[in-house]
């Protein structure tokens, strides 16, 4: 049996908090400006309510995932992992991202390459990690498209596929080439640089680091992965040896 993960050190805790705080400025600033617009004009019809709702939801998701990551990181015993339907988690993740992705004009497609047995995971933690990762990468793809327009519409693919090491779940996108060393460098710069992951994410990229923190509590990590000639960030999960889909 594996042992519980050691709690986050004070420095790592502080760096992650700085990253989250920096990231939250973006949606909160937008919401504040929309509220100010309504006050100045006296016309609430000018306020983009749908956009405010999407931004607020994204901010709350990031904060919830951050708090969950801290909670899980403080566990001194083995985490309550259980057989989890990865297909169900991925479908729910894609659904939660749909409004956010639509606002940023990014297509998020779901591709489950096969039919898989359940994976061993902390259900709420896996969901939180993938949703946080998806929000961060959707924003990253939208910003890159704005800076470097392409003929094809911006697109992310949420994928599950089997490898010799386990079942991999992650987000992949065309038009980007990521290297493992870039991700390792970003982890060291979390909370210490305005753009710790310049190769991928604009701004603080806090959703990436929050996702990794939650996954660490399940004894796994985010890593740079490749799928169908595309690169992205993914996690490897171990299939349950007890349950299989019929």
Please spell the DSSP secondary structure of 98-132, one letter per residue.
Answer: HHHHHHTT-EEEEEE-S----EEE-HHHHHHHHHH
Residue from 109, 126, 99 nearest 173 by CA:
109
Pull the structure tokens for residue 11. Answer: 């420095």
What does the domain layout of the chain look like in residue ranges? Answer: 10-237
CA separation for the pair 154, 143 (Å, rounded): 10
CATH classification for the domain delimited by 10-237, as one of 3.40.640.10, 2.60.40.1930, 3.30.565.10, 3.20.20.110: 3.30.565.10
Per-residue model confidence (pLDDT) at position 29: 87
Asked whether the beta carbons of 224 and 179 are under 8 A apart, the reply is yes
- R_g of the chain, CA atoms, integer Å: 18
- Chunked into runs of 10 residues, the chain (246 residues) has average pLDDT values of 45 83 87 78 66 89 90 61 94 95 93 90 93 93 78 88 94 84 92 85 86 90 92 95 54
CA 125, CA 82: separation in Å to the nearest integer? 11
pTM for the model: 0.86
Q: State CA 69 to chain mean position distance.
A: 13
């Amino acid at each position: 049996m594996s042992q519980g993960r050691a709690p986050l050190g004070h420095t790592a805790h502080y760096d992650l908090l700085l990253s989250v705080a920096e990231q939250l400025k973006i949606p909160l600033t937008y919401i504040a400006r929309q509220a100010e617009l309504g006050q100045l004009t006296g016309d609430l019809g000018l306020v983009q309510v749908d956009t405010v709702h999407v931004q607020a939801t994204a901010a709350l998701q990031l904060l919830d995932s951050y708090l969950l990551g801290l909670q899980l990181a403080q566990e001194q015993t083995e985490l309550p992992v259980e057989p989890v339907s990865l297909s169900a988690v991925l479908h729910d993740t894609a659904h939660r991202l749909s409004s956010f992705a639509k606002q940023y004009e990014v297509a998020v497609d779901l591709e489950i390459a096969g039919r898989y047995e359940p994976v061993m995971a902390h259900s709420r933690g896996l969901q939180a990690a993938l949703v946080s990762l998806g929000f961060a990468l959707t924003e990253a793809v939208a910003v890159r498209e704005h800076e470097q327009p392409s003929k094809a519409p911006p697109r992310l693919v949420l994928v599950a596929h089997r490898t010799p090491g386990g079942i991999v779940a992650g987000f992949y996108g065309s038009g980007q080439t990521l290297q493992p060393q870039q991700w390792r460098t970003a982890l060291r710069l979390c909370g210490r640089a305005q753009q710790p992951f310049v190769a991928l994410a604009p701004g603080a990229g806090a959703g990436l680091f929050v996702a990794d923190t939650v996954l660490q509590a399940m004894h796994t990590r985010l890593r740079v992965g490749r799928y169908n000639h595309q690169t992205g960030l993914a996690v490897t999960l171990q299939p349950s040896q007890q349950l299989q889909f019929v």
